Structure 1
Amino acid sequence: MSDVTILQVVPRLETGGSEQSTVEIAAALTQAGAKALVATEAGALATALEDAGGEIIELPVASKNPLTILANARHLARIVERRNVTLLHARSRAPAWSAYLAARKTQRPFVTTYHGAYSGRSRLKTFYNSVMARGDRVIANSRFTAGLITSQYPVPPEHLHVIYRGFDVSAFDADNVAPKRLDRLREVWGISPEQRVVLQAARLTRWKGHPYTIEAARLLKDRDQLGDAVFVFAGDTQGREDYRAELQAEIDAAGLTGVVRLVGHCDDIPAAFTLADLAVVASTRAETFGRTSIESQAAGCPVIVSDVGAASENVVPQSDLDAFTGWVVPTADAHALADCLGEALTLSPQALAEIGQRARSNARERFALHDMQRATLAVYDELLGTGLAATFCPAKQL
């Protein structure tokens, strides 16, 4: 496959989902014997990209200035011709316009990936967003995202592919989480081994729904259903100190001081979910993927998610009694969340472990990194008539 050269275009190589996917696809292309080029303004993941076998071509593709977008298109077209690029793949709107124009000028296939939802409150914004639907193939990171795309743009069903974000599920396997990592978290969080842990791993921002979890905990306390459970909010404030103070005031007013704990950033999420008995995703705004609901399952931690965005499609709901891996509750409904938590906290350790085992299998079967890589290469194959997906060997991954 040495005659295949794929040019990915991403604004910057920082630590985000689209950027990490760029690195992972570069690694897959290299393993399949193809060349992986990335036009970007570089960033924190530049070294990881090069270690994966990719080559960085620095361009100011993060700019939304129309003149810069046009200049980037001309640069990309020259790169396509000079490097014999066979396909362009864009992951964000501004660079997608440059890549789209270059692809059309050079008559190369063009692929886009939706990593998020784009609001179009004006005709101009809707037009600007439309470039992500102009790919010869369009990849959506969830069924929810695919639904948003088809509700706004006439993308033929055969051109739209749902490919879930993949990650290394083995990092969340209990066998790979040393006991000392769990002991360290217990010490930092001030939790004894006997206490049950309900974990909400999310940055401290209002739409993550922390107030509803606090109110649910208060309801459980009033019903005498709380027992020894401790609620842990693990996440950065990202400068929102006023919001953190507001949450602490709500905790204190509800008589939950010491029961609901704001522990700040957690640098060991696999250990956190391995330690937890239950996970909560209480978001009030739609997320197009919902990684937390998958990471918790990968660690064998049953999860409760609010019914908004893609999170609910990541779990097997309770309606499927023999297979369910998590609960889905109405959005912004503290009473429903309290009812669900009360039910889950009364389950025996064995029953929770059985749900957790199914959750772990669900994560492995649907969200493994190598599956995402192979599915993306298959999209390239569909347009190029190549065999990248068949050649790709995930066993060679570093």
Structure 2
Amino acid sequence: MSASLESSVVLQVLPSLVTGGVERGTVEIAQALAKAGNTAIVASAGGRMVGLIERAGATHLTLPLATKTPFGIWRNAARLEALIRAHNVSVVHARSRAPAWSAWLACQRTGVPFVTTYHGTYTENLPFKRHYNAVMARGRIVIAASHFIADLITRQHGLHPTRIRVIPRGVDTVLFNPDTVSGDRIANLARDWRLPDGMRTVVLPGRLTSWKGHAILLEAIARLDRPDVLCVLVGSHQGRHRYARELAQHATRLGIAERLRLTGHCEDMAAALLLSDVVVHASVKPEAFGRVVIEAQAMGRPIVAADLGGPVETVRHGETGWRVPPGDPGALALAIAQALDLDPVARAALGQRARASVPTVRAMQEATLDVYRTVQRGG
């Protein structure tokens, strides 16, 4: 890690630590701060990833920051103000809108630099929604996960480009390394997923929510008309039991019910990706980045991604994967077939190019710590 932050105290705030890319990024920055000799504090409503924060050498403080009510946000601002003063916080980094409002108010009162990461496209389908979203553009520096998001911030909030820092999410190329995943890990996962011998796997990692395009993938699998292909949806339903049932019913209507697996949350994503013959990103809404795409590339897997949002910047069509029009099961089926039909030499070459192209966690950590240094110097 580069030059230290001179024993700074950095507070990251987010709604909870259950699962997701925002949460994982928070853990990775906490690790970088602790490794560089700084004090890392994370405030959230808690969740199963709190242990990762603590193992990173950071402190987690439980606050009800998931609340979106005006009174709750105002009350949390007072709590965060007290926390900032008690711990002599140097920088506050907000990663979600409701906690960001509380953190911004607390920073206004204490004079502590306020940084945000603009993690998503954020809908504006209700009155005052743009105003609610705009807090994510109030950081002294606003971190964008992709040029797509940087352009959105400039367009929607009029932010000058000098206040935006594009820092792609990174992949841990030590953790996501095809050479270090043991055969036992692969075998255990294949057993858990109930994979028959000789089946090819097309895997879509991501929480179960309709805009991730699961139904589009099911239709593409049905169009393939290849009985040796199994569709595996890896991700938590996060309480969306009805949606999971709808996917199973859709697979039945398409005649592929016996070739669908809904695995739930997976703790060993490196093994899950290595077990995949093709990895699919099928989102029908633009994503800020698309972390699963670079994780698949780091594992040398063929990736087929929807041609919108962040993956446009990480998948070079025909070189490190395929990009297809979003919501088009026919185009998706064709690209999956091309990926499945690669000969071993072409598959290995594509995997090497993909792995060499991915942004890394280390680069993301270095760039984020540099943002903290900049705002502390008054930049």
Gaps of at least 5 residues in structure 1 are 319-323, 387-398
Q: What is the aligned counterpart of 1:163 among 155, 162, 167? A: 167
Structure 1 residue 8, shift from structure 2 partner: 2.1
Matches of 1:70 and 1:268, distance apart in 2: 39
Q: From the superposition, tell whether residues 250 and 48 of structure 1 become closer, same or farther in structure 2 (CA, over 3 Å).
A: closer
Matches of 1:86 and 1:35, distance apart in 2: 10
Matched, 1:369 2:373: no
Q: From the superposition, tell whether residues 218 and 12 of structure 1 become closer, same or farther in structure 2 (CA, over 3 Å).
A: closer
Matched, 1:333 2:328: yes
Matches of 1:262 and 1:24, distance apart in 2: 30
Matches of 1:84 and 1:372, distance apart in 2: 25
Match of 1:380 in 2: 372
SS of 1:170's partner is coil
Instruction: Provide TM-score, normalisation by structure 1.
Output: 0.84
Aligned pairs for 1:195-234 within 5 A: 195-221=199-225, 226=226, 228-234=228-234
Aligned residues with identical type, % of pairs = 43
Structure 1 residue 230, shift from structure 2 partner: 3.2
The 8 Å contact of residues 297 and 303 in structure 2, kept in 1 or not, is answered as yes
Q: Write out per-residue CA displacement over residues 26-79 of structure 1, whole angstroms, 9 at most, x where no aligned residue.
A: 222222222223333343333332332323344433333323433333343344
Q: From the superposition, tell whether residues 82 and 355 of structure 1 become closer, same or farther in structure 2 (CA, over 3 Å).
A: same
Structure 2 letter corresponding to 1:333: D
Q: What is the aligned counterpart of 2:9 among 5, 11, 32? A: 5
Structure 2 letter corresponding to 1:381: R
Q: What is the aligned counterpart of 1:55 among 41, 56, 59? A: 59
The 8 Å contact of residues 2 and 35 in structure 1, kept in 2 or not, is answered as no
Aligned pairs for 1:142-291 within 5 A: 142-191=146-195, 194-221=198-225, 226=226, 228-256=228-256, 258=258, 260-265=259-264, 266-291=266-291
SS of 2:128's partner is helix
Match of 2:314 in 1: 314
Matched, 1:38 2:33: no
Structure 1 residue 218, shift from structure 2 partner: 3.0
Structure 1 residue 5, shift from structure 2 partner: 2.0
Matched, 1:305 2:300: no
Q: What is the aligned counterpart of 1:108 among 100, 108, 112? A: 112
The 8 Å contact of residues 320 and 354 in structure 2, kept in 1 or not, is answered as yes
Structure 1 residue 300, shift from structure 2 partner: 0.8
Q: What is the aligned counterpart of 1:25 among 26, 29, 32? A: 29
Matched, 1:74 2:78: yes
Structure 1 residue 205, shift from structure 2 partner: 3.4
Matches of 1:108 and 1:147, distance apart in 2: 27
Instruction: Provide TM-score, normalisation by structure 2.
Output: 0.88
Q: Write out per-residue CA displacement over residues 360-385 of structure 1, whole angstroms, 9 at most, x where no aligned residue.
A: 2222xx1x222111110011111223
Q: What is the aligned counterpart of 1:135 among 124, 134, 139? A: 139
Q: From the superposition, tell whether residues 72 and 268 of structure 1 become closer, same or farther in structure 2 (CA, over 3 Å).
A: closer
Q: Write out per-residue CA displacement over residues 289-326 of structure 1, whole angstroms, 9 at most, x where no aligned residue.
A: 212212211111010011232233221222xxxxx111
How many residue pairs were aligned? 373
Q: From the superposition, tell whether residues 36 and 203 of structure 1 become closer, same or farther in structure 2 (CA, over 3 Å).
A: closer
Match of 2:352 in 1: 357
Q: From the superposition, tell whether residues 245 and 42 of structure 1 become closer, same or farther in structure 2 (CA, over 3 Å).
A: closer
Question: Which stretch of structure 1 is more off in the superposition, 281-290 or 188-197?
Answer: 188-197
Q: From the superposition, tell whether residues 123 and 170 of structure 1 become closer, same or farther in structure 2 (CA, over 3 Å).
A: same
For the pair shown, the structure with the greater C-alpha radius of gyration is: 1
